[in-house]
Amino acid sequence: MFDLAIDSKLRSCDIVKLKIGDLVSGGRVRSRAIVIQSKTVRPVQFELLEPARTSILAWLEARGGTLDDYAFPSRLDGVTHISTRQYARLVDEWVTGIGLRSEDYGTHSLRRTKASLIYKRTGNLRAVQILLGHTKIKSTVRYLGVDVEDALTLAEGTEF
């Protein structure tokens, strides 16, 4: 789930609602997927790297289910998806389990991680904007916590 959250850059409300069919095609975990985001009602495409595909496959093999089932079912009834609150608890347990401060990390940290790395490596705000599904570049700048002038300076020094 955590590999998927980092690779997909999806909000927690979208992670918990993923269905097996969103992640699997032809008996294999997709290398790319498209999801309609709940907040923006816009499609966002993401790539799933090999580590994420491997962990998703292991989870789905253990979990079982059909393409129409939620990938992460509720522990209460096994039919509905887990809640965003339960997802947050799992992230908190994982973070503290590996020795990090839970105050510093949460579900949104997983969404932000890859976007921040891509921006730092490329300086390409537009690419990050597309990957996050933001409609306005100002939202992406604010989301990354960068100064507009710094972003423009970095972008000027990057060849496209």
Q: Where are the domains of the chain?
A: 2-103, 107-156
Quick check: 82 and 16 in contact, CB under 8 A? yes
| Range name among 21-30, 32-41, 73-82, 139-148 with the lowest pLDDT average | 139-148
pLDDT at site 153: 67
Q: For 54-62, what is the mean pLDDT?
A: 95
pLDDT at site 103: 87
Q: Which residues of 128-141 are buried (b: 16+ CB within 10 A; e: fewer)?
A: bbebbbbeeeeebb
| Range name among 55-64, 92-101, 137-146 with the lowest pLDDT average | 137-146
Nearest to 57 by CA among 28, 25, 32: 28
| Range name among 96-100, 109-113, 117-121 with the lowest pLDDT average | 109-113
Number of C-beta neighbours around residue 87 at 10 A? 20
Nearest to 1 by CA among 77, 46, 57: 57
* Third-level CATH fold of 2-103: hpI Integrase; Chain A (1.10.443)
Whether pLDDT at 132 is above 80:
yes
With a CB cutoff of 8 Å and minimum separation 6, the contacts of 7 are 46, 47, 48, 49, 52, 114
State the pLDDT confidence band at 72, using cuts at 50, 70 and 90: very high
Question: Helix axis angle, 137-144 relative to 148-156, nearest 10°?
Answer: 100
